[in-house]
A and B are shown apart, each in its own frame.
Chain A
Amino acid sequence: MKNKIITIATACVALVCTILIVTSPDALSFGLGKGIGFGDIKKAVEIGKKTKHAFEATDMTAEQEYYLGRSVSAKILGTCKLYEKPETVQYINRLGNMLAKASDRPELFNGYHFAILESDEINGLSAPGGFVFVTRGLLRCCDSEDAVAAVLAHEISHIVYKHGLRSIRTNRMAPVAGILIGEAASRAGAGQATSLLSTFSGSIDDISTQLINGKYSRETEDKADEHMLQILQRLGYDPAAFISVLQALAENAVAGKSKSGFSKSHPDPQWRTSRMQNRLTKSPAIPVKTTPERQQRFFTAMSGI
């Protein structure tokens, strides 16, 4: 009797899901999530269905995102110098690239790049296209490789979720959507070329203003923290290390050392700490093992920071 029910139920489910797939590609998103790891593949099903929606900034190609990100980075680097102690720069690029490969978006048009800003402010920024910036001040808040990994993984997560692109004003893309999706390139006249430049420049302004002067919403930061946790757990880092960073941020905020920067752009360290603790108690305990080599290479790379 029980077997019969199972058979009938399975047959019904199979039928329903086939119908769902044929009629709505969105149906895929409930069964196949990050767990199985299909990511973008489910979007491929959309080819089968002609969804016509307005072109949004997050629809742009990896190449378009990259060129926007270069100019946003130029704006950031126009205001702050680079700190370039070779050991430190090499270390955060190794670490950052390893973390990026464990993220949900390991490949970008020209890969991920990590740079240190010569600033005592406590700040971390990431421009679209894979440019991650952390200040010396922020690195000083990290007391282990696991903590640096958490900070970099948080910034990587903003790129994974295209948070920078999402700060582009709505409808900014509309006048040049045809060119951006590649259908109107050949017949783009002089007028189109002018709107293209103003769209490009407007988008750079929107993102830079967001990154340099603004702050992401709580939800956005929370989403980045959530994926950061996934990245750390996938690699075997201790996610609790991030709590120590948040505490250092909270102390700095109290001491008034950081009127601007990370504590401004990444608010509420206490709230984020409790969210993290909550997640950690919910997620299954994965044993974290550290090696003396890990801590040793952290000290070597960070001496002088």
Chain B
Amino acid sequence: METIQRLCRVVLVAILAVLVIAWVAGQTARVQVRQASVRSQPDYFMGHVLDVIPYDTPTKIAEVRGTWLKVDTEGKPQGWVNESALFLRGVSAQSDSASVQESAAQEELSLAGRGFTQQMEDEYRLEAGSDAYQYVDRIENDALYQIEENSLGAFLQEGGLMLRTGGAQ
């Protein structure tokens, strides 16, 4: 009986996986990060970065492998992007003030410029009068804090480490 249960669970998970993959492939997603790296392999530490896709660019999902999506983007080479760099659904929220739009229509909306933006930060800074933003900029942009993306694979190997299955793999 236990064997049957186990088998059923395996089959169930397999069916779900196939259905989700079939459903997700063919969908359009949007880049939700400033720059999404398109990689030659579905792995951060192997292969290399082919190109980058800028924020808010729509891209078509061709294939799913774990947490990695193979995407087709106009004018860019086909390659692998981690799912966390992509926006796959419209948040169908409702508020007191605004009417709720259809989720499908939400999908078409740009991600950029939704309220909390550089402009909002500028207004807030003016009000708060803080001069500490220079240190935040420093952490983000100064060469001291920058690391070569491609050096991480070597750092991993040198430390006797490897990325095992799960999560980002």
Contacts and interface: CB of A to CB of B under 8 A. Distances in A.
A237 B130 CA distance: 40
A51 B131 CA distance: 42
A280 interface: no
B109 to A, nearest CB: 5
Interface string A78-99: 1000101010011001110110
B85 interface: yes
Contact of B84 (A42, A86, A106, A177): A106
Interface string B141-169: 00011110001100110111111111111
Contact of B13 (A36, A115, A204, A233): A36
Given A63-B111, A107-B85, A174 B95 contact: yes
A289 B160 contact: yes
Interface string B59-93: 00000101100000000000000111101111111
Contacts of A131: 136, 139
Contacts, number: 311
A106 B89 CA distance: 19
B12 A98 contact: no
A204 B112 CA distance: 20
A235 interface: yes
A47 B120 contact: no
Given A110-B34, A197-B124, A234-B166, A32 B16 contact: yes
A29 to B, nearest CB: 10
Nearest to B12: A13
Contact of A291 (B111, B121, B128, B158): B158
A305 interface: no
A60 interface: yes
Contacts of A47: 88-90, 103-104, 107
Nearest to B29: A44
Contacts of A18: 15, 19
A54 B103 CA distance: 14
A42 B94 contact: no
A144 to B, nearest CB: 11
Majority secondary structure, A binding face: helix
Contact of B144 (A62, A74, A90): A90
B151 A94 contact: yes
Nearest to A21: B19
A180 to B, nearest CB: 5
Contact of B136 (A38, A60, A74): A74
A68 B120 CA distance: 10
Contact of A175 (B97, B123, B152, B158): B97
Contacts of B93: 52-55, 59, 177, 181
Contact of A71 (B4, B89, B124): B124
Interface string A211-234: 000000000000000000011011
Contacts of A54: 93-95
Nearest to A82: B135
Given A9-B8, A47-B104, A145-B159, A93 B147 contact: yes
A113 interface: yes
A46 B126 CA distance: 40
Interface stretch (A134-142, A182-190, A264-272): A182-190
Nearest to A52: B94
B33 A108 contact: yes
A109 B147 CA distance: 17
Contact of B162 (A113, A180, A182, A235): A235
B116 A55 contact: no
A35 B166 contact: yes
B33 A109 contact: yes
A61 B93 CA distance: 13
A293 B88 contact: no
A102 B163 contact: yes
A89 B145 contact: yes
B41 interface: no
A179 B117 CA distance: 12
Interface in B1-59: 4, 7-9, 11-13, 15-17, 19-20, 23-24, 27, 32-34, 36, 44-45, 55
7 contacts: A40-B83, A55-B91, A67-B117, A93-B146, A109-B33, A182-B113, A204-B124
Given A74-B130, A82-B139, A183-B101, 9 more contacts: A44-B23, A44-B24, A61-B32, A67-B121, A107-B85, A114-B145, A175-B95, A177-B98, A196-B115
